[in-house]
Structure 1
Amino acid sequence: MTSTRLPGKVLLPVKNQPLLKYHTDRLKKNNFPIYLATTTNATDDVIAQFAEQEGVYCYRGNEDNVLSRYYETALENQLDVIVRVTSDCPLVDGDLIKTGVEKYLQWQNETIYLSNSIVRTFPRGFDFEIFSFQQLEEAFLKAETTFQKEHVTPYIKEHAQAEHVVYSEDASDLRITVDTPEDFQLIKILIEDFQADTLSYQEIIKLLRSHPELVKINAHIEQKKG
């Protein structure tokens, strides 16, 4: 809730529903369990309340050491494979993530890190990372820098065998994550006017390609480094 560029962004309402509800509903399509890792700050009480209402497991931990929050969540729930997504992506695609998990599991290799965001072909807003508990535990025990702890996966990426999920075309110029008022404006239009919350990632990309005026709304926004 303490986002610097758009405070409270994950609970901003569209059609009387918070963005986080769109996010979790789209994740639920793949039937994987969802774990919400938030902070112990009083400002995030509303996030915990949302999780309880939605029947989503919620863990509360250190605000700055997000890596520890991930590790403690995974440890408490005895997870073997972790898919990391961020809550500022309300149009995240659960089916795309399922395809990624199926690809990851075929390797049967706990040293592989799989994502669709290192080799950037997907729009920002569909990002996911997949890694093993073994990798997460090693990162938790050995990560030393503030950057490694704040951004969860830097240590893993530095030491893992990286594999990639890529799209059939380069759609990396598109931005459907929410970090600024302009980002929210675009998401609001996409959901209210085009029912994008019911569309697949392919359909959303096609929609944006056919409406360049929408792309312009947040095309100037520079992604925060992370």
Structure 2
Amino acid sequence: MRVIATIEARMSATRLPGKVMFPLAGAPMLQRLVERVRRARLVDEVVVASTVSMPDEAIADLCRRIDCRVYRGPVEDITQRLLNAAKGADLIVQLTGDCPLIDPEHVDETVRRITDAKADYASNSLNGCTFPIGFDVRAFTMEALQRSADLSDDPVDRVHGSYFIYRNPQLFRLVGWEPPAELRWPELRLTVDEPADYELVRRVFEHLYPERLDFSARDVVTLLRKTPDWVAINSAVRQKTLAEG
């Protein structure tokens, strides 16, 4: 079984343009995320799923420098972008470029869950976010994604890639898994949408990365429970709804 992890990344984010290239511990955010996902033992390849938009040439240049395959497809139709980016995969792990603290162990656990259950889709946020926002991982079969593309051309489905699978449990077999008690913190934002988000994530990287390149989700949560003033930095940022893209 071939497993490809896709990372959706573009320069024209509405709230914080160019964020995937913002520095974290001396390298662009996207590079740090690729490095982390490559540590997942059950992933065969990491592919950046970018767009044909001209500004995204900067993303393609970075991918060439770090020897990471990049696919450039439609801006709004992420379902089609994933289908093409992960061509040849049996299983796709869907990640986004604004979540640089993804834990490779969570990627592996999600792959194990979907494989063991012979399911179509697996996620650690199936029943809502119980992990911090930004730790969420989704995996699904290529067959399920192709089926979702054939069944729906709704823009909301297509802009989220696998959303049609998630919202149709009567058509697909879904499995989820929950965090251990010490990692339950759904109010904590570790995704980068606004400057305050970036400031928090930047501090986490600068504190943890020099000591341990492969720091874990548990390391992040342990640090932030000891630094409530850091947590307050982005506590007022509103999470976008699915309809907002």
Task: Please give the TM-score of this superposition, normalised by the length of structure 2.
Answer: 0.86
Which protein is richer in helix relative to its size? Answer: 1
Q: What is residue 232 of structure 2 aligned with on the other side?
A: 216
Matched, 1:73 2:85: yes
Query: Do the aligned partners of 2:117 and 2:175 also contact (CA within 8 Å) in 1?
Result: no
Contact 1:191–1:197 (8 Å) recurs in 2 = no
Selected match of 1:118 from 123, 126, 137: 126
Secondary structure in 2 aligned to 1:136? helix
The equivalent of 1:39 in structure 2 is 51
Which of 53, 65, 72 is the equivalent residue of 1:60? 72
Runs of 5+ unmatched residues, structure 2: 1-10
1:199 partner amino acid: F
Contact 1:40 1:62 in 2 (8 A): yes
1:198 Cα offset (Å): 3.7
1:161 is displaced (CA, Å) by: 2.5
Q: Is the 8 A contact 2:12 2:55 kept in 1?
A: yes
- Give structure 1 regions of 4+ aligned residues with deviation exceeding 4 angstroms: none
The alignment partner of 1:84 has SS state of strand
Aligned mates of 1:194, 1:28 — CA distance in 2: 18
Select the residue among 174, 177, 182 that pairs with 2:196: 182
- Of the candidates 120, 129, 147, which is equivalent to residue 138 of structure 1? 147
TM-aligned CA deviation for residue 139 of structure 1:
1.2
Residue 191 in structure 1 maps to residue 209 in structure 2: no
List alignment gaps of at least 5 residues for structure 1: none
Say if 1:182 and 1:218, in contact at 8 Å, map to a contact too: yes
Q: Deviations over 1:180-225 (max 9, x none)?
A: 0000110111111343864211111111112111111111111111
Shift in Å, 1:87: 0.7
Does residue 207 in structure 1 map to residue 226 in structure 2? no
SS in 2 for 1:30: coil
Whichever residue aligns with residue 177 of structure 2, its letter is V
Number of aligned residues: 222
Deviates more, 1:168-177 or 1:5-14: 168-177
